[in-house]
Amino acid sequence: MAGTTAALIAVQGVPVLDVLVDAGIAGVAVYALGSEAIGVIKDLAGFASGVVNAKTEADLDNAGQHMARAVSTVGVDAVAVVLLHKAGGAMKENIPPSSAMRGMVALAT
């Protein structure tokens, strides 16, 4: 994550490269969040199925593992979103606008 952030900051002033890097990072984020969301859904389904079909205490423990994995994934993602949002807000004044943003501002005015 630190490498990605450093690359993003480093290319923000380069006209074409910043747009390409921004698009690439957005694509990776969508892919990563999509695969994590699928994992959470599978774990929640495994938990529900495990609880309903449990015959032994070991079955309940297995279902609990599914729930724990889902909760920890969502919890880690939520903390990352909060921290990155706060860091992004603090850095906003220090990062020059990208060429795409300058172009949008020029079109709007």
Does residue 86 form part of some domain? yes
User: What letter represents residue 4's amino acid?
Assistant: T
DSSP state of 94: G
Q: Say what the pTM is.
A: 0.49
- Provide CB contacts within 8 A for 14, sequence distance 6+: 99
DSSP state of 97: P
Does residue 15 form part of some domain? no
DSSP 4-44: HHHHHHHTTTSTTHHHHHHHHHHHHHHHHHHHHHHHHHHHH
Kindly report, residue by residue over 69-96, the tens digit of the pLDDT: 988 888 877 777 777 766 555 555 665 6
Domain count, the chain: 1
Does residue 8 form part of some domain? no
Mean pLDDT, rounded, of the chain: 76
Does residue 19 form part of some domain? no
* Residue-range definition of the domain harbouring residue 50: 28-92
Is residue 3 classed exposed, middle or buried when 0-12, 13-18 and 19+ CB atoms within 10 A define those classes?
exposed
Is residue 14 over pLDDT 90?
no
Kindly report, residue by residue over 19-43, the tens digit of the pLDDT: 777 777 777 777 777 788 888 889 9
